Structure formats: structure tokens, C-alpha cells
Amino acid sequence: MNDILAFSLIALLLVVSPGPNGVLILKTASSQGKSASILNIFGLTTATFFHGALSIFGFSALLMQSAELFFIIKILGAGYLFYIGVKAIINSYKTTDTKVNEVAKSEKQGLGYFNEGFITQILNPKVSMFYLAAFPQFISPDNFSYFNAFSLVAIHASIIFMWFLGVTLAIEKIKLSAKNTKVGNWVQRISGTAMIYFSSLVLTQK
């Protein structure tokens, strides 16, 4: 029980700390709305189980032993964060009519929001390092159980879902109170800049 509480606390601190996931939810919830943001969250939680599976089956350790493969993944992660950041900034300067048309089109392709969350999480170096360094400390080699291991991953995924759902609902409430397009545009620009900043951090990570 103590191990579960300790793991939950560490996972909570990881989730609430500033990072690409929070910026993504802030951007999506403020510009695309609650439904799109929830799809982002489902993408984040699904990718979390992938991270957990990679760690549990030992693939994460193998990945870190290959400098070339790790470099490729780092480039992909940085490139994707940069792309999301630039896209958010560009969209903030588009007219309202253009945004409405894009939202209507993207609603028909809701899987795109899921993929956005999934890719952001799967390429998130902070989460990768968590499952490489911290997660194995809570798994006993002498008393190993796949059920227990994936239960810890489920706890992490649940924390992600509940935290970012709360963030999404809070942003939705603020939007309904403010109804200020200029504020939304500046949120997108700040979020986009933050994404570009995080992409530079990924590139400089050793």
C-alpha cells in the first residue's frame, strides 16, 4: 500500500508539472473546445499504457542503449512539438470564419485530436524517462506480476485523465464567462510558443 501511495504521488507530481501535455490541453480546450480536448486526453492516456508496456517488457531499456534510435525519436518528438507550436500560432491569426470552417472540418475527423494527444505523450521525453528510471523501482523482480505492473500504469493514466479533465472543464467555464476571442488568440500564441520552447528542450536533452 505504501508503494502504491508513493507511486501515485510521484505520478501526480509528474502530471501537474509543466510540460507539453498541459500546453496541448490548454491550447485545444481554449481554441477547439471541450470535446476536442477530451479526445486529446484519451490519446494521452492510451499512450501512457504504451509507455508502461514498453517498460514492463524491457523495450525502453533496449531503446536507451541505442544512441542512434534514441536520437531519431528525440528528433521526431522535437519536430512534432515544434509543428504543433507553429500551427497554434498561425491559427491564432486566422479570421473567425476560417477557424469555424476548420473546427467543423476537424470535428468530422475527431481521430486527429486523439492522435495529437497520443503522439505528444508517446514522444514526451519526461514520460519516457519516468518509465525508464522511476517506474521499475516500484516493480519487484522477486514477486513480479503483470497485473500489478499494469495496475500502476492504470493509476498513472487515471491521474492524467482526471487532472486534464479538470483543467478542460475549468477552461470551458472561463471561456463561457469571458467569451473574448482576443484572449483565446493570445492563449494559442502563448501555448504555441511554449510548445516550440519544449521542442528545443527535447533537442538539447542528453
Nearest-angstrom CA–CA distance, 192 and 118: 18
Spans of all domains in the chain: 2-7+21-204
Residue 183: per-residue pLDDT = 63
* Alpha helices (H) along the chain: 2-16, 20-31, 34-56, 59-65, 67-91, 96-107, 111-122, 125-129, 146-178, 181-204
Q: How many Cα atoms occupy the beta-carbon half-sphere of 21 within 13 Å?
A: 30
Q: Is 118 left (phi over 0), alpha (psi -120 to 50) or beta?
A: alpha
CA distances from 200 to 1, 2, 59, 160, 197 (A): 39, 37, 26, 24, 5
Residue 196: per-residue pLDDT = 81
Rg (CA), the chain: 18
Backbone angles phi, psi at 85, to 5 degrees: -65, -50
Residue 202: per-residue pLDDT = 67
DSSP 8-state assignment for residue 92: T
Tell me whether residue 1 is exposed, middle or buried, using C-beta atoms within 10 angstroms of its C-beta: 0 to 12, 13 to 18, 19 or more: exposed
DSSP 8-state assignment for residue 133: I
Nearest-angstrom CA–CA distance, 182 and 179: 9
CA 94 to chain centre: 25
Residue 108: per-residue pLDDT = 44
Contacts with 87 (C-beta within 8 Å, 6 or more apart), sequence order: 192
Q: What is the mean pLDDT of each run of 10 residues along the chain (206 residues)?
A: 85 88 88 89 95 83 64 75 80 63 54 90 84 82 83 95 94 68 69 76 67
Residue 39: per-residue pLDDT = 95
Q: For residue 189, give the nearest of 17, 20, 27 by alpha carbon.
A: 27
